[in-house]
């Protein structure tokens, strides 16, 4: 036994060493296996990049836009700094390990470029916010001020004029800009850009979104340099007339008024929008019909208008210059025609106000003209990426807006479709009769409209909660009518008016625009012409956008994988339901959906229909009946609903959600309420909503939303069955334009 014990003692160190050796060998083998697997993955990625052949510039534009989007999506400066630092660290690590011609260098460079572009996008928008962002006025104020008119925007269809004024903030010494609506003295020609006026006005800080996912006027005003908005409380007095250096604004307004005078009625409003970008003369009913029929893009001066103007100038200059052999034999005519088209495009953009969609279209057209002059393709992904970089560097905040997304989304879909193999084979020249050739072009026009509509539908649902169904058919009729009849007639009418002979051209223009309105109303008034959708999560939009970008920028069969996330996001819309409660930030406008979201009850203390429209859109209901609360439409006044008990001080309602009854108490008025009866009613309610502060004795069983809490949360959406609460403040984070209400 002793010998055996001694043997064990002497052999133990040897066994221990062997175990360590075996363990080390196993770890080394595992390390080699892991390295081999990582190397295999990296090799596959490297091979994928080589096979897919993606152009780096469009992907860098996507990364730059993603960085801008992350700045808006993330909550505070710590996270923004983290995005920038992490991107720089990843790029530095990838570049540090590159060996020039070594293995995986293609992958390292791709990772470094994408990381740098994301960091640059986040840094650029943060920098612009810090440089040009304008804090809003501290509180609403009424005062008589003297101000200079910076911009005058007439809306004759609504009998209003909006003046952008430069003034000194009442009670402060800060110079600010404010947008003020005037309903008196609408026809005074002396109140225009450059004039100094005196008036009494009510000014308010630009409003935050009324509900989560709504339009953010405060964010737009922050980047536009506008500190307040309001309305005049009396007549406007002229202190000094306009200066002579505002000739461009005067020319723009004179052009708009001249066109409306030559083309009377609703068609004149459309003609003025095409000629000068002034949409103020379009009646609301016609604008709604254009939107529901998918033709609203025709109302903003962007790609279609700029393209038609520049193309017309290019063709006209080309034909005229080709008539002179001295020029045609010595200078490249396409180069001169491109210069003429570019100058005309720049002048047209300045005349129409140089808005972001216009500048994007002009810059893209300039690139296309340059490509034509150099004998290259006029439209490609690379040119689209350069145009996107230009817009994002100048206006990075536009990335999260519908204009940028729809403009570049439509062009991206257009290029992707026409660069695909089946389409190129279908449109390839061949010996055939004219009617077959025109038939193929007609089919291609319809297919293009359908593809663009499908690509833009998620954007429309995200921002506007509605999208037209018949947009492809409507555009197939409207775009040729606008491009080849209406706009040439406007140009010809303006030219012939110089000699007093523009009448026939204006008649043709009016008839064509009446036909355009007939098309718009015909499609918009059809049953089920519009898809309505409640507020949806941003991840669905990201999934659709990411899938479509992958489909557009990757080559080969692997590009088809982009359909998967887009299809899943679209299919998930079937499970989207309207929130049960929608509460505005002031606590006065409250909407409760009923009958599985098919209708809505609303409690409103004011007379404005804007809040009711926003509520109905957020619930995915038709907002055309939101202005009426007589019970005839999808929106009904809560005080008229038999299931609600309303008094002068409160409304009580019981609804069933998630298999249980919810007792909701909504207080009315602005004065603070207290007392034992109120405390008892609050204690018996699951949710209490109040537009004023309430005493601590008024405590609901589940949630109390009074003025004090709503001032920090902003508007609120509540899903009772899921127990989820979404607030405006969750989406705003600590961005500088967001602050709790005073």
Instruction: Give the pair of three-digit tokens for residue 604.
Output: 């409103």
pLDDT at 19: 60
- pLDDT at residue 66 above 90? yes
What angle do helix axes 56-73 and 381-394 make, rounded to 10 degrees?
30
CATH of domain 141-245: 2.40.50.140
State the Cα–Cα distance between residues 545 and 543, nearest whole angstrom.
6
pLDDT band at 474, cuts 50/70/90?
A: confident
Strand partners, 688: 665, 704
pLDDT band at 741, cuts 50/70/90?
A: low
C-alpha torsion sign, points 400, 56, 127, 83: positive
- pLDDT at residue 646 above 90? no
User: Residue ranges of the domains in the chain?
Assistant: 53-132, 141-245, 252-401+476-527, 538-575, 581-732
Q: What is the pTM of this model?
A: 0.82
The arrangement of strands across the sheet holding 724-727 comes to: 635-637, 599-603, 590-594, 581-583, 716-719, 724-727
74 phi and psi, to 5 degrees?
-80, 160
For residue 621, the number of C-alpha atoms closer than 13 Å in the C-beta half-sphere is: 29
Strand partners, 153: 162
3-class SS of residue 239: strand
State the residue for tokens 């009315």.
668
- pLDDT at residue 22 above 70? no
Q: How many CB atoms lie within 10 A of CB 89?
A: 12
The residue-averaged pLDDT of 652-677 equals 81
pLDDT (tens digit, 9 = 90+) per residue, 371-429?
766 666 666 788 888 888 988 998 999 899 888 888 888 888 888 888 888 888 888 87
Instruction: Give the pair of three-digit tokens for residue 594.
Output: 């009923």
Q: Is residue 715 a contact partner of residue 727, using CB atoms and an 8 Å limit?
A: yes
With pLDDT > 90 as the criterion, what percentage of the chain qualifies?
Answer: 14
Per DSSP, 667 falls in state: E
């Amino acid at each position: 036994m002793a010998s055996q014990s001694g043997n064990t003692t002497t052999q133990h160190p040897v066994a221990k060493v062997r175990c360590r050796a075996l363990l080390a060998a196993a770890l080394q083998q595992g390390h080699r296996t892991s390295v081999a697997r990582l190397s295999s993955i990296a090799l596959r990625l490297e091979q994928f990049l080589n096979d897919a052949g993606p152009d780096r510039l469009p992907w860098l534009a996507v990364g730059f836009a993603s960085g801008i989007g992350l700045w808006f999506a993330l909550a505070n400066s710590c996270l923004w700094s983290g995005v920038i630092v992490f991107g720089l660290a990843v790029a530095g690590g990838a570049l540090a390990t590159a060996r020039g011609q070594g293995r995986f260098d293609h992958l390292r460079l791709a990772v470094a470029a994408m990381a740098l572009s994301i960091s640059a996008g986040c840094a650029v928008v943060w920098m612009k916010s810090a440089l040009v962002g304008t804090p809003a006025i501290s509180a609403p104020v009424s005062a008589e001020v003297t101000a200079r008119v910076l911009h005058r925007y007439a809306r004759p269809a609504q009998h209003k004029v909006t003046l952008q004024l430069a003034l000194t903030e009442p009670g402060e010494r800060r110079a600010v800009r404010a947008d003020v609506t005037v309903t008196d003295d609408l026809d005074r020609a002396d109140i225009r850009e450059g004039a100094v006026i005196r008036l009494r006005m009510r000014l308010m800080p630009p409003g935050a979104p009324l509900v989560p996912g709504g339009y953010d006027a405060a964010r737009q005003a922050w980047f536009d340099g506008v500190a307040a908005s309001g309305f005049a409380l009396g007549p406007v007095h002229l202190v000094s007339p306009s200066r002579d250096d505002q000739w461009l604004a005067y020319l723009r307004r004179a052009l708009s008024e001249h066109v409306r005078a030559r083309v009377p009625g609703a068609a004149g409003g459309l003609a003025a929008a095409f000629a000068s970008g002034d949409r103020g003369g379009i009646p609301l009913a016609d604008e709604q019909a254009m939107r529901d029929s998918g033709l609203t893009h025709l109302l903003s001066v962007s790609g279609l208008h700029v393209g038609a103007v520049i193309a017309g100038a290019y063709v006209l200059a080309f034909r005229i210059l080709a008539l002179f052999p001295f020029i045609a034999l010595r200078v490249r005519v396409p180069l001169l025609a491109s210069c003429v088209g570019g100058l005309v495009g720049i002048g047209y953009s300045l005349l129409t106000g140089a808005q972001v969609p216009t500048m994007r279209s002009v810059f893209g057209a300039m690139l296309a003209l340059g490509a034509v002059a150099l004998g290259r393709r006029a439209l490609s992904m690379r040119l689209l990426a350069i145009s996107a970089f230009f817009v994002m560097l100048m206006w990075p905040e536009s990335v999260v807006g519908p204009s940028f997304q729809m403009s570049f989304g439509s062009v991206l879909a257009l290029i992707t479709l026409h660069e695909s193999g089946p389409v190129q084979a279908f449109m390839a020249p061949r010996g055939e009769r004219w009617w077959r050739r025109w038939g193929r072009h007609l089919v291609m026009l319809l297919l293009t409209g359908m593809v663009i509509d499908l690509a833009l539908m998620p954007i429309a649902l995200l921002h506007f909660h509605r999208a037209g169904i018949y947009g492809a058919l409507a555009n197939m009729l409207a775009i040729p009518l606008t491009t080849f009849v209406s706009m040439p007639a406007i140009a010809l009418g303006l030219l012939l008016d110089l000699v007093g002979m523009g009448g026939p051209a204006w008649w043709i223009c009016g008839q064509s625009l009446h036909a355009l309105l007939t098309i718009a109303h015909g499609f918009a008034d059809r049953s089920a012409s519009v898809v309505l959708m409640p507020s949806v999560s941003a991840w669905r939009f990201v999934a659709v956008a990411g899938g479509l970008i992958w489909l557009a920028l990757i080559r080969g069969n692997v590009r088809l994988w982009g359909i998967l996330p887009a299809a899943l996001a679209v299919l998930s819309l079937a499970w989207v339901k309207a929130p049960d409660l929608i509460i505005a930030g002031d606590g006065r406008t409250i909407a409760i959906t009923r009958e599985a979201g098919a209708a809505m009850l609303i409690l409103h203390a004011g007379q404005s229909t804007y809040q009711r429209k926003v509520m109905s859109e957020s619930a995915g209901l038709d907002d055309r009946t939101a202005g009426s609360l007589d019970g005839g439409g999808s929106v009904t006044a809560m005080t008229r609903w038999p299931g609600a008990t309303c008094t002068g001080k409160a409304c009580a309602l019981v609804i069933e959600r998630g298999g249980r009854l919810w007792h909701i108490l909504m207080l009315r008025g602005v004065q603070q309420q207290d007392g034992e009866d109120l405390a008892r009613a609050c204690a018996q309610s699951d949710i209490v909503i109040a537009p004023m502060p309430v005493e601590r004795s008024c405590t609901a069983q589940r949630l109390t939303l009074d003025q004090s809490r709503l001032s920090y949360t902003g508007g609120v959406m509540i899903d009772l069955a899921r127990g989820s609460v979404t607030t405006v403040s969750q989406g705003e984070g600590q961005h500088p334009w967001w602050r709790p209400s005073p």
